[in-house]
Structure 1
Amino acid sequence: MHLPLPTTTTALLALLSSTSLALPNPQPQFSFPGGTGGSTRNDLSGVCKPITVIYARGTGESGNVGSVAGPPFFSALDSAFGAGNVAVQGVDYAATAAGFGGDPAGNSKMAGLVGTAVSKCPKTQIVVSGYSQGAMLVHNSASSYSAAGKAAIKAAVLFGDPYNGRAIPGISAGNVKTFCAAGDSVCAGAAIITPAHLSYGGNAGEAAAFVKGKIRL
Protein backbone atom coordinates (compact mmCIF):
# COMPACT_ATOMS: atom_id res chain seq x y z
CA MET A 1 0.00 0.00 0.00
CA HIS A 2 1.37 3.42 -0.91
CA LEU A 3 0.96 6.11 1.72
CA PRO A 4 0.01 9.63 0.59
CA LEU A 5 2.95 11.95 0.09
CA PRO A 6 3.28 15.00 2.36
CA THR A 7 2.01 18.20 0.73
CA THR A 8 5.48 19.76 0.52
CA THR A 9 6.89 16.64 -1.11
CA THR A 10 4.04 16.58 -3.62
CA ALA A 11 4.90 20.15 -4.56
CA LEU A 12 8.54 19.21 -5.04
CA LEU A 13 7.51 16.30 -7.21
CA ALA A 14 5.60 18.67 -9.44
CA LEU A 15 8.49 21.13 -9.52
CA LEU A 16 11.13 18.57 -10.44
CA SER A 17 9.11 16.10 -12.48
CA SER A 18 10.64 17.27 -15.75
CA THR A 19 14.24 17.13 -14.51
CA SER A 20 16.37 14.31 -15.93
CA LEU A 21 19.41 13.47 -13.82
CA ALA A 22 22.16 11.37 -15.36
CA LEU A 23 24.18 9.10 -13.10
CA PRO A 24 27.69 8.06 -14.14
CA ASN A 25 27.64 5.02 -16.44
CA PRO A 26 26.44 2.34 -16.17
CA GLN A 27 23.75 3.83 -13.92
CA PRO A 28 20.34 4.84 -15.39
CA GLN A 29 18.71 8.27 -15.33
CA PHE A 30 16.55 9.52 -12.49
CA SER A 31 13.84 12.08 -12.03
CA PHE A 32 14.33 12.85 -8.37
CA PRO A 33 12.17 14.75 -5.85
CA GLY A 34 13.81 16.53 -2.98
CA GLY A 35 13.20 15.89 0.68
CA THR A 36 11.15 18.26 2.80
CA GLY A 37 12.34 20.97 5.16
CA GLY A 38 15.62 20.83 6.97
CA SER A 39 17.89 21.88 9.77
CA THR A 40 21.53 22.90 10.16
CA ARG A 41 24.34 21.47 12.29
CA ASN A 42 27.84 22.96 12.44
CA ASP A 43 29.23 21.29 15.54
CA LEU A 44 32.81 21.21 14.24
CA SER A 45 32.96 24.91 15.05
CA GLY A 46 32.59 24.03 18.75
CA VAL A 47 34.43 21.84 21.21
CA CYS A 48 35.66 18.39 20.19
CA LYS A 49 33.44 15.42 20.99
CA PRO A 50 34.32 11.70 21.21
CA ILE A 51 32.21 11.05 18.10
CA THR A 52 31.88 13.24 15.01
CA VAL A 53 29.25 12.59 12.35
CA ILE A 54 29.86 14.10 8.91
CA TYR A 55 26.46 14.05 7.20
CA ALA A 56 25.27 14.94 3.68
CA ARG A 57 21.56 15.64 3.11
CA GLY A 58 19.43 14.57 0.16
CA THR A 59 18.43 16.45 -2.96
CA GLY A 60 16.20 19.44 -2.26
CA GLU A 61 16.49 19.33 1.53
CA SER A 62 17.16 22.64 3.22
CA GLY A 63 19.67 23.49 5.94
CA ASN A 64 22.77 21.33 5.77
CA VAL A 65 21.40 18.11 7.28
CA GLY A 66 17.82 18.15 5.98
CA SER A 67 14.99 16.47 7.87
CA VAL A 68 14.16 13.06 6.38
CA ALA A 69 16.95 10.84 7.75
CA GLY A 70 19.55 13.01 9.46
CA PRO A 71 17.89 14.54 12.55
CA PRO A 72 16.18 11.29 13.64
CA PHE A 73 19.54 9.51 13.29
CA PHE A 74 21.33 12.16 15.37
CA SER A 75 18.69 11.92 18.11
CA ALA A 76 19.11 8.15 18.21
CA LEU A 77 22.89 8.54 18.48
CA ASP A 78 22.45 10.93 21.43
CA SER A 79 20.29 8.31 23.11
CA ALA A 80 22.80 5.55 22.38
CA PHE A 81 25.95 7.39 23.48
CA GLY A 82 24.65 10.02 25.88
CA ALA A 83 24.07 13.72 25.34
CA GLY A 84 27.25 15.67 24.73
CA ASN A 85 29.24 12.85 23.15
CA VAL A 86 28.23 13.35 19.52
CA ALA A 87 29.11 16.27 17.26
CA VAL A 88 27.26 16.59 13.95
CA GLN A 89 28.61 18.50 10.98
CA GLY A 90 26.47 18.91 7.89
CA VAL A 91 28.02 19.20 4.44
CA ASP A 92 27.18 22.59 2.94
CA TYR A 93 26.75 21.59 -0.70
CA ALA A 94 24.13 22.57 -3.25
CA ALA A 95 22.07 19.33 -3.13
CA THR A 96 20.25 20.40 -6.28
CA ALA A 97 18.63 18.14 -8.85
CA ALA A 98 21.34 19.09 -11.33
CA GLY A 99 24.05 17.66 -9.07
CA PHE A 100 22.41 14.28 -8.55
CA GLY A 101 24.85 11.64 -9.74
CA GLY A 102 27.99 13.73 -9.47
CA ASP A 103 28.78 16.87 -7.48
CA PRO A 104 32.56 17.42 -7.40
CA ALA A 105 32.22 20.47 -5.16
CA GLY A 106 30.13 18.48 -2.68
CA ASN A 107 32.59 15.60 -2.75
CA SER A 108 35.45 17.99 -2.03
CA LYS A 109 33.58 19.63 0.86
CA MET A 110 32.80 16.29 2.48
CA ALA A 111 36.41 15.12 2.20
CA GLY A 112 37.55 18.47 3.57
CA LEU A 113 35.29 18.12 6.61
CA VAL A 114 36.72 14.68 7.37
CA GLY A 115 40.17 16.26 7.21
CA THR A 116 39.09 19.13 9.47
CA ALA A 117 37.65 16.72 12.04
CA VAL A 118 40.90 14.75 12.15
CA SER A 119 43.16 17.79 12.40
CA LYS A 120 41.06 19.67 14.96
CA CYS A 121 39.98 16.65 17.01
CA PRO A 122 42.61 13.91 16.55
CA LYS A 123 40.95 11.63 19.12
CA THR A 124 37.45 11.82 17.68
CA GLN A 125 35.88 8.75 16.06
CA ILE A 126 34.20 9.62 12.76
CA VAL A 127 30.96 8.41 11.23
CA VAL A 128 30.31 9.39 7.61
CA SER A 129 26.69 9.33 6.58
CA GLY A 130 24.30 10.56 3.91
CA TYR A 131 20.81 10.27 2.51
CA SER A 132 20.06 9.76 -1.20
CA GLN A 133 22.32 12.20 -3.11
CA GLY A 134 24.17 12.62 0.19
CA ALA A 135 24.90 8.89 0.24
CA MET A 136 26.49 9.34 -3.18
CA LEU A 137 28.79 11.96 -1.67
CA VAL A 138 29.97 9.42 0.88
CA HIS A 139 30.91 7.05 -1.96
CA ASN A 140 32.43 9.67 -4.22
CA SER A 141 34.42 11.57 -1.60
CA ALA A 142 36.00 8.54 0.06
CA SER A 143 38.91 8.23 -2.34
CA SER A 144 40.00 11.73 -1.29
CA TYR A 145 40.17 11.01 2.45
CA SER A 146 43.66 11.09 3.91
CA ALA A 147 45.15 8.00 5.54
CA ALA A 148 44.47 9.59 8.93
CA GLY A 149 40.90 10.32 7.89
CA LYS A 150 40.26 6.74 6.80
CA ALA A 151 41.76 5.44 10.05
CA ALA A 152 39.46 7.69 12.09
CA ILE A 153 36.30 6.57 10.28
CA LYS A 154 34.68 3.82 12.32
CA ALA A 155 31.38 3.54 10.44
CA ALA A 156 29.53 4.65 7.33
CA VAL A 157 25.72 4.78 7.37
CA LEU A 158 23.79 5.28 4.13
CA PHE A 159 20.07 5.89 3.69
CA GLY A 160 18.29 5.43 0.35
CA ASP A 161 21.61 4.90 -1.42
CA PRO A 162 21.46 5.12 -5.25
CA TYR A 163 24.79 3.26 -5.31
CA ASN A 164 23.38 0.43 -3.21
CA GLY A 165 25.85 -2.47 -3.15
CA ARG A 166 28.84 -0.46 -4.36
CA ALA A 167 31.93 -0.54 -2.14
CA ILE A 168 33.20 2.62 -0.47
CA PRO A 169 36.93 3.05 -1.16
CA GLY A 170 39.05 2.61 1.94
CA ILE A 171 36.18 1.63 4.27
CA SER A 172 35.71 -2.01 5.17
CA ALA A 173 32.36 -3.48 4.08
CA GLY A 174 31.83 -4.62 7.66
CA ASN A 175 31.84 -1.00 8.79
CA VAL A 176 29.19 0.07 6.27
CA LYS A 177 25.44 -0.09 6.89
CA THR A 178 23.05 0.67 4.04
CA PHE A 179 19.33 1.17 4.53
CA CYS A 180 17.25 0.63 1.39
CA ALA A 181 13.55 0.27 2.09
CA ALA A 182 11.32 -2.18 0.27
CA GLY A 183 9.71 -0.27 -2.56
CA ASP A 184 12.40 2.44 -2.74
CA SER A 185 12.97 2.60 -6.47
CA VAL A 186 16.05 4.83 -6.08
CA CYS A 187 17.89 1.93 -4.46
CA ALA A 188 16.58 -0.47 -7.10
CA GLY A 189 17.79 1.60 -10.05
CA ALA A 190 14.37 2.76 -11.28
CA ALA A 191 13.24 6.33 -11.94
CA ILE A 192 10.06 6.12 -9.88
CA ILE A 193 10.04 7.83 -6.48
CA THR A 194 7.76 6.22 -3.90
CA PRO A 195 6.94 7.12 -0.27
CA ALA A 196 9.47 4.46 0.76
CA HIS A 197 12.25 6.87 -0.14
CA LEU A 198 10.99 9.23 2.56
CA SER A 199 10.76 6.56 5.26
CA TYR A 200 14.30 6.46 6.65
CA GLY A 201 13.62 8.29 9.88
CA GLY A 202 12.16 4.96 10.95
CA ASN A 203 15.61 3.35 10.69
CA ALA A 204 17.24 5.77 13.12
CA GLY A 205 17.39 3.37 16.05
CA GLU A 206 18.84 0.52 14.02
CA ALA A 207 21.38 2.89 12.46
CA ALA A 208 22.51 4.13 15.88
CA ALA A 209 22.77 0.56 17.17
CA PHE A 210 25.05 -0.30 14.24
CA VAL A 211 27.29 2.67 15.04
CA LYS A 212 27.36 1.73 18.72
CA GLY A 213 28.71 -1.67 17.70
CA LYS A 214 31.64 0.01 15.93
CA ILE A 215 32.61 2.71 18.45
CA ARG A 216 33.94 2.47 21.98
CA LEU A 217 33.97 5.53 24.24
Structure 2
Amino acid sequence: MRIRLCLAALSLAGGAGLATLSAPTAAAATCTDIDVVAARGTFEPGTLGTVVGDPVYAALQKKLTGKSLSSYKVDYPADLSLTSAAQGNLNLVSHVMSQASTCPNQRFILVGYSQGANVVDNSIGISSAGALVGSPIVATIPAALAPRVTAVLLFGNPIRAQGKSVTGTYQSRTIDFCAKGDPVCVNGGDDVLAHLGYSADADAAATFAAGRV
Protein backbone atom coordinates (compact mmCIF):
# COMPACT_ATOMS: atom_id res chain seq x y z
CA MET A 1 0.00 0.00 0.00
CA ARG A 2 2.80 2.43 0.84
CA ILE A 3 4.44 1.81 -2.51
CA ARG A 4 1.17 2.56 -4.34
CA LEU A 5 0.73 5.79 -2.39
CA CYS A 6 4.31 6.84 -3.03
CA LEU A 7 3.86 6.24 -6.75
CA ALA A 8 0.68 8.32 -6.66
CA ALA A 9 2.62 11.16 -5.08
CA LEU A 10 5.31 10.91 -7.75
CA SER A 11 2.70 11.49 -10.45
CA LEU A 12 1.89 14.99 -9.19
CA ALA A 13 3.89 18.19 -9.49
CA GLY A 14 2.16 20.53 -7.05
CA GLY A 15 2.26 24.25 -6.46
CA ALA A 16 0.04 26.22 -8.84
CA GLY A 17 -3.51 27.42 -8.50
CA LEU A 18 -3.84 27.70 -4.73
CA ALA A 19 -7.20 28.72 -3.38
CA THR A 20 -7.66 31.22 -0.56
CA LEU A 21 -7.05 29.40 2.71
CA SER A 22 -7.86 30.07 6.32
CA ALA A 23 -5.65 28.76 9.09
CA PRO A 24 -7.08 25.87 11.10
CA THR A 25 -7.17 26.40 14.84
CA ALA A 26 -4.10 24.86 16.50
CA ALA A 27 -4.82 23.16 19.79
CA ALA A 28 -2.49 24.12 22.63
CA ALA A 29 -0.42 21.44 24.33
CA THR A 30 0.97 21.54 27.85
CA CYS A 31 4.02 23.66 28.58
CA THR A 32 6.76 21.10 28.21
CA ASP A 33 10.40 21.97 27.70
CA ILE A 34 10.27 20.94 24.04
CA ASP A 35 7.36 20.57 21.64
CA VAL A 36 8.05 18.23 18.71
CA VAL A 37 5.99 19.44 15.76
CA ALA A 38 5.71 16.76 13.06
CA ALA A 39 4.29 17.02 9.54
CA ARG A 40 3.66 13.58 8.07
CA GLY A 41 4.09 12.47 4.48
CA THR A 42 1.36 12.04 1.89
CA PHE A 43 -1.31 9.61 3.17
CA GLU A 44 1.10 8.46 5.90
CA PRO A 45 -0.66 6.70 8.79
CA GLY A 46 0.43 6.72 12.43
CA THR A 47 0.22 9.09 15.37
CA LEU A 48 2.92 11.42 14.06
CA GLY A 49 3.68 9.26 11.01
CA THR A 50 4.78 5.63 10.91
CA VAL A 51 7.80 6.17 8.64
CA VAL A 52 9.35 9.21 10.35
CA GLY A 53 7.36 11.05 13.04
CA ASP A 54 6.72 8.17 15.44
CA PRO A 55 10.24 6.66 15.34
CA VAL A 56 11.87 10.09 15.57
CA TYR A 57 9.75 11.06 18.59
CA ALA A 58 10.60 7.76 20.30
CA ALA A 59 14.29 8.37 19.63
CA LEU A 60 14.06 11.93 20.99
CA GLN A 61 12.47 10.64 24.19
CA LYS A 62 15.52 8.42 24.71
CA LYS A 63 18.06 11.13 23.86
CA LEU A 64 16.47 13.98 25.81
CA THR A 65 15.91 12.24 29.12
CA GLY A 66 16.41 15.43 31.15
CA LYS A 67 13.72 17.33 29.25
CA SER A 68 9.94 17.07 29.15
CA LEU A 69 8.57 16.54 25.65
CA SER A 70 5.21 16.97 23.98
CA SER A 71 4.26 16.30 20.38
CA TYR A 72 1.95 17.89 17.85
CA LYS A 73 0.75 16.31 14.61
CA VAL A 74 0.35 19.08 12.04
CA ASP A 75 -3.32 19.18 11.08
CA TYR A 76 -3.48 19.09 7.29
CA PRO A 77 -4.84 16.78 4.58
CA ALA A 78 -1.48 15.29 3.55
CA ASP A 79 -3.13 14.33 0.28
CA LEU A 80 -2.58 15.16 -3.39
CA SER A 81 -4.69 18.32 -3.48
CA LEU A 82 -3.01 21.53 -4.59
CA THR A 83 -3.74 23.24 -1.27
CA SER A 84 -2.60 20.44 1.05
CA ALA A 85 0.94 21.64 1.82
CA ALA A 86 -0.28 25.22 2.18
CA GLN A 87 -2.84 24.15 4.78
CA GLY A 88 -0.09 22.37 6.68
CA ASN A 89 2.10 25.45 6.44
CA LEU A 90 -0.64 27.59 8.00
CA ASN A 91 -1.39 25.10 10.74
CA LEU A 92 2.25 24.58 11.73
CA VAL A 93 2.91 28.31 12.02
CA SER A 94 -0.35 28.86 13.90
CA HIS A 95 0.53 26.10 16.36
CA VAL A 96 4.06 27.38 17.02
CA MET A 97 2.82 30.93 17.55
CA SER A 98 0.07 29.77 19.91
CA GLN A 99 2.42 27.58 21.89
CA ALA A 100 5.10 30.26 22.05
CA SER A 101 2.59 32.71 23.49
CA THR A 102 1.16 30.25 26.02
CA CYS A 103 4.51 28.73 27.01
CA PRO A 104 7.23 31.41 26.91
CA ASN A 105 10.04 28.99 27.83
CA GLN A 106 9.07 26.23 25.43
CA ARG A 107 11.29 25.39 22.47
CA PHE A 108 10.50 23.51 19.28
CA ILE A 109 11.84 20.70 17.13
CA LEU A 110 10.29 20.62 13.66
CA VAL A 111 10.03 17.31 11.82
CA GLY A 112 8.92 16.91 8.20
CA TYR A 113 8.76 13.89 5.93
CA SER A 114 8.09 14.03 2.18
CA GLN A 115 5.15 16.44 1.71
CA GLY A 116 5.60 17.24 5.40
CA ALA A 117 9.11 18.47 4.59
CA ASN A 118 7.50 20.93 2.16
CA VAL A 119 5.27 22.08 5.03
CA VAL A 120 8.28 22.66 7.28
CA ASP A 121 10.32 24.28 4.48
CA ASN A 122 7.58 26.82 3.82
CA SER A 123 7.12 27.50 7.53
CA ILE A 124 10.79 28.48 7.91
CA GLY A 125 10.75 30.61 4.77
CA ILE A 126 12.04 28.21 2.10
CA SER A 127 9.47 27.93 -0.67
CA SER A 128 8.43 24.50 -1.92
CA ALA A 129 6.53 25.96 -4.87
CA GLY A 130 7.05 23.75 -7.92
CA ALA A 131 8.33 20.80 -5.92
CA LEU A 132 6.44 17.52 -5.75
CA VAL A 133 3.25 18.18 -3.70
CA GLY A 134 4.66 21.60 -2.80
CA SER A 135 3.12 25.05 -2.53
CA PRO A 136 4.07 28.71 -2.30
CA ILE A 137 4.75 30.05 1.20
CA VAL A 138 1.58 31.23 2.93
CA ALA A 139 2.94 31.74 6.47
CA THR A 140 6.31 31.81 8.22
CA ILE A 141 7.40 31.47 11.82
CA PRO A 142 8.07 35.05 13.02
CA ALA A 143 11.72 36.04 13.25
CA ALA A 144 11.35 36.74 16.96
CA LEU A 145 10.51 33.06 17.52
CA ALA A 146 13.27 31.63 15.33
CA PRO A 147 15.74 31.22 18.25
CA ARG A 148 13.22 28.92 19.95
CA VAL A 149 13.31 26.46 17.04
CA THR A 150 16.26 24.38 18.15
CA ALA A 151 16.33 21.81 15.33
CA VAL A 152 14.74 21.10 11.97
CA LEU A 153 14.67 17.43 10.92
CA LEU A 154 13.77 16.74 7.29
CA PHE A 155 13.42 13.45 5.42
CA GLY A 156 12.83 12.83 1.71
CA ASN A 157 12.58 16.57 1.14
CA PRO A 158 11.07 17.28 -2.32
CA ILE A 159 12.84 20.64 -2.79
CA ARG A 160 16.15 18.77 -3.02
CA ALA A 161 15.08 17.36 -6.38
CA GLN A 162 14.99 21.01 -7.50
CA GLY A 163 18.55 21.55 -6.32
CA LYS A 164 17.33 23.57 -3.31
CA SER A 165 18.02 23.23 0.41
CA VAL A 166 17.47 25.06 3.68
CA THR A 167 19.63 28.18 3.82
CA GLY A 168 19.80 31.23 6.03
CA THR A 169 18.63 31.42 9.63
CA TYR A 170 17.86 27.73 10.09
CA GLN A 171 20.66 26.20 8.04
CA SER A 172 22.94 25.26 10.95
CA ARG A 173 20.00 23.79 12.85
CA THR A 174 18.78 21.63 9.97
CA ILE A 175 19.59 18.06 9.03
CA ASP A 176 18.10 16.90 5.74
CA PHE A 177 18.12 13.17 4.97
CA CYS A 178 17.80 12.10 1.33
CA ALA A 179 18.31 8.42 0.56
CA LYS A 180 20.21 7.36 -2.54
CA GLY A 181 17.83 6.95 -5.45
CA ASP A 182 14.80 8.37 -3.62
CA PRO A 183 12.73 9.83 -6.50
CA VAL A 184 11.08 12.37 -4.20
CA CYS A 185 14.32 14.14 -3.27
CA VAL A 186 16.72 12.99 -6.01
CA ASN A 187 16.21 14.34 -9.51
CA GLY A 188 16.03 11.21 -11.66
CA GLY A 189 15.91 8.84 -8.69
CA ASP A 190 14.23 5.53 -9.42
CA ASP A 191 14.19 3.63 -6.10
CA VAL A 192 10.71 4.13 -4.66
CA LEU A 193 11.50 1.86 -1.71
CA ALA A 194 14.27 4.25 -0.68
CA HIS A 195 11.59 6.81 0.16
CA LEU A 196 10.06 4.45 2.70
CA GLY A 197 13.20 3.64 4.70
CA TYR A 198 13.78 6.79 6.75
CA SER A 199 12.93 5.21 10.09
CA ALA A 200 16.53 3.97 9.94
CA ASP A 201 17.66 7.60 10.34
CA ALA A 202 15.57 8.32 13.44
CA ASP A 203 18.44 7.83 15.88
CA ALA A 204 20.82 10.02 13.87
CA ALA A 205 18.18 12.74 13.65
CA ALA A 206 17.54 12.60 17.40
CA THR A 207 21.27 12.76 18.12
CA PHE A 208 21.55 15.86 15.91
CA ALA A 209 18.61 17.52 17.68
CA ALA A 210 19.91 16.63 21.15
CA GLY A 211 23.16 18.41 20.33
CA ARG A 212 21.25 21.62 19.70
CA VAL A 213 18.80 21.65 22.59
TM-score range, shorter-chain basis? 0.7 to 0.9
Q: Which runs of 5+ in 2 are unaligned?
A: 17-26, 126-139
Counterpart contact for 2:37–2:108, Cα < 8 Å = yes
1:150 counterpart residue number: 146
Instruction: Provide closer, same or farther for how the CA distance between residues 87 and 20 of structure 1 changes in structure 2, counting only shifts above 3 A.
Output: same
Secondary structure of residue in 1 paired with 2:5: helix
Q: Is the contact made by 1:52 and 1:87 (CA closer than 8 Å) also made in structure 2?
A: yes
RMSD (CA atoms): 2.7
The answer to whether the 8 Å contact 2:107/2:148 transfers is yes
Once residues 140 and 23 of structure 1 are traced to their aligned partners in structure 2, the CA distance between those partners, rounded to angstroms, is: 14
Give the aligned partner of residue 155 of structure 2.
159
The one-letter code matched in structure 2 to 1:189 is N
Return the TM-score normalized by structure 2.
Answer: 0.78
SS at match of 2:42: coil
8 Å CA contact retained: 1:162, 1:189: no
1:95 aligns with 2:78: yes
Number of matched pairs: 188
Q: Per-residue deviation at 1:194?
A: 1.1
Identical-pair percentage: 34
Q: TM-score under structure 1 normalisation?
A: 0.76
Q: Any gaps of 5 or more consecutive residues in structure 1?
A: 1-7, 26-43
**Equivalent residue in structure 1 for 2:123, among 141, 166, 176:** 141
- Does 2:68 align with 1:85? yes
CA-to-aligned-CA distance 1:82-108 (integer Å, 9 cap, x gap): 2861111110100002248x6322211
2:123 and 2:66 map into 1 onto residues whose CA distance is 29
* Paired residue type of 2:57: F
Matched, 1:76 2:59: yes
Per-residue CA deviations over 1:14-66 (Å, capped at 9, x if unaligned) read 7x38x8312449xxxxxxxxxxxxxxxxxx64421111111100001135622
* Aligned residue type for 1:22: A
> Does the 8 A contact of 1:107 with 1:141 survive in 2?
yes
Classify 1:11/1:169 alpha carbon distance in 2 versus 1 (closer, same or farther; 3 Å). Answer: closer
Displaced runs of 4+ in structure 1, greater than 4 A?
Answer: none
